Every structure is written in C-alpha cells, then in structure tokens.
Amino acid sequence: MSSETQARRIVLAARPQGEPKNTDFRLEGFAVPAPGPGQVLLKTRFLSLDPYMRGRMNDSKSYAPSVALNDPMVGEVVAEVVDSQLDGFARGEHVLAHLGWVSHGLSDGKGLRKIDADQAPLQSYLGVLGMPGFTAYAGLREIGKPRAGETVVVAAASGPVGSLVGQLAQRAGARAVGIAGGARKCQFVKDVLGFDAVLDHRAEDFPAALAAACPDGIDVYFENVGGAVWQAVFPLLNPFGRVPVCGLIADYNGSPALPDGISVPALMRGILTRSLSIRGFINYDLDTLFPDFLAEVGAGVRDGSVLHREDIVDGLENAPQAFIGLLKGSNFGKLLVKVAD
C-alpha cells in the first residue's frame, strides 16, 4: 500500500499558437489511485521532457496522436513500483513507463521496462541510455553510416541526441563538427565532449564559419534542427552525402520566414546532381538495433568513454517552464524533471 493520498498531474489546458505559454498547461491534484488485480501503482521519480511533445500539443495529423485538451501531457518517466497486484513486479522495483506528466499512475504492465539502478543512474535511462541516445545510435548507424576520414555535422550538439552522434562519429573514425547555441555550450562540446570543431549557430558569420570548419565538405549531416542551420549546411554537402532527418526543432513553434531559403527545385536539383540520400526516421522504427545500442553505448557509459550531460529541474510544477525553454535552447544537456526523491 502507498501511504500517499494526493497525486498531481499537468494537463494540456489550451493548444498553443506558436511558442507555448504557461497558461497552455494546468497543474491539477487528484487522489492517488489504488491498483486493482493485475495492476501496479507507479510513483514517478524522473520525467523526461523532449522536443517531440510540442507536436503532440497541436491538433494536426502526425506520426502519433495529439494530446486531447484537459488530458495529461504525454511523456516517458522513470517510476518506482509502490504497490503491486501484478505478478512479476515487486514494490521498490524501478521501471520505464509512458505515464505522462503525472506524479502517480496505474499500469497493467504493458510497455513497462524494468531498469537497474546498480547498472547506471536511474535518470540516464531517459537520456543517454534511453530514447534520445538510441535515436542518435540508430539514425547514425542505419542512415548516416559514417566512415573513417569523413566529416559528420550535427546541431543541438550539447543535447542528448547530438552529443552522442558526434562521439559515435568519432568512434567510426570520422571528424565530428558540432553546432550549438552560445559560448557555454560550444565550449562544452569542444573541450569536454572533444568534438573536432564547434560553431555557434547564433554567430553572424555562421554560414562562413561552418564552411571554413568543413574544408572537405560535409559527408553526413545529422539533421536535428532544420531552419537556418540546414540552409547553411545544404550547399556544403558532398556527393553521396547522407542526411538522417531526425528532428526540425527550429520549426516546431511554427516556421519562421527565412530570407534566401532553398527553393524546392534547387533542393531537388541538389539531391539529384550530388546523389544525396535524405531519409527521415522515427527511433522506434529501428528498434531491432536496441540490443546493440544498449551493449555498445551502455559499455561506453560504464567505462566513461561515452560522455553526456543532464539538466535536472526540480518539481513537476516547473515542467511547463522548462519545456518552453527547451524549444529555444534554455536547457543545457538532457532535460529531466525530478518529480520525487
């Protein structure tokens, strides 16, 4: 039995127009539910905040359903089993669950994955050892396919996807060029993660600086952001270049008007004449690679050869503000909310 009686959740109060506002979310209290036969009661320890959640706030067709108004925001959590009426799950065990922005929830066990706090810190299963880390691994291995001596470019390079893309590219013998926002993130990407070069996408001379940092052109561009960064990258792509299209965060709040954008005919001509491969992917479509990912990246995290950074915000009530910031780069590392000790 859980001794707590009061639970909390954050629901979608309104569909944002452009950048989300605090008033698009609402914090609600509810009674901690009791598990019935075949159920477990879960208590959230960490909630993962991820860019894809912005798309779920829209009422438009996509690869996954929208969040309904007044429903809890979707999201993956690390949770503790606090009460169990389900065989195979015991009190005190930790699981990954798609519980949403909630402090407590029930599950019938479907989709739960047990995790081991002795192998790695609990929250890392939401970051470097979780969905974002796997996204980097799978997109690079299946689509990017970096080879020794090639140049791999990735933006959002201090975040959970980008930071691993660069490190895995270097493991393959490629040169890793990172793009990040601001001096602090750039310094981290170069000096701590050890990328070969780093550029600030907010710098005025960014396109010229990127060209100078890639004297042999770009062989793999791991697309995390779109927008102005893509505009600067496209002319530099080498023949037979590969572009795993992973995310387009610059556009998630609505596409800003860009001067000198690439026209569709120019884009198609570039794809044809340079024999480019541009392929979108959603991480779970490549899930057969998950065991390889866990073995390889898990070993790297344990022996310290794979580095990562986390940005942990305290308290479920602070999730909306942290999420609003994520969409414009206020986070520095994998963004997590510590919901309970």
Binding site for ligand NDP (CB under 6 A): 50-52, 132, 135, 155-156, 158-162, 180-181, 185, 201, 224-225, 227, 229, 246-247, 249-250, 281-283, 326, 328-329, 331, 335
In angstroms, the Cα distances linking 179 to 187, 194, 221 are 11, 13, 11
Q: How far is the CB of 151 from ligand NDP (least distance, A)?
A: 19
Order the strands of the 237-245 sheet from edge to edge.
Answer: 197-200, 175-180, 151-155, 218-222, 237-245, 277-280
Name the minimum Å distance from CB 53 to ligand NDP.
9
How far is residue 325's CA from residue 223's CA, in Å, rounded to a whole number?
20
Measured CA to CA in angstroms, residue 90 lies from 41, 166, 236 at distances of 10, 39, 54
* Residues 6 or more apart whose Cβ sits within 8 Å of residue 264: none
- Cα distance between residue 56 and residue 79, in whole Å: 22
Pick 21 or 328: Cβ nearer ligand NDP: 328
Q: Which is nearer to ligand NDP, 132 or 300 (CB)?
A: 132
Least distance (Å) between residue 155 CB and ligand NDP = 5
In the complex, the smallest distance separating the C-beta of residue 226 from ligand NDP, rounded to whole angstroms, is: 8
Nearer to ligand NDP, 27 or 307 (CB): 307
User: Of 41 and 53, which has the nearer Cβ to ligand NDP?
Assistant: 53
Q: Which is nearer to ligand NDP, 106 or 332 (CB)?
A: 332
Which strand (E) or helix (H) includes residue 107?
A: strand 104-107
Q: Give me the least distance between CB of 32 and ligand NDP, in Å please.
A: 30
Facing residues of 9 across strands? Answer: 28, 102
| DSSP type of residue 233 | H
Radius of gyration of the CA atoms of the chain, in A: 21
CB of 278 to ligand NDP, least distance (A): 14
Half-sphere exposure of 321 (CA within 13 A, CB side): 7
Q: Which residue, 90 or 312, is less far from ligand NDP as judged by CB?
A: 312
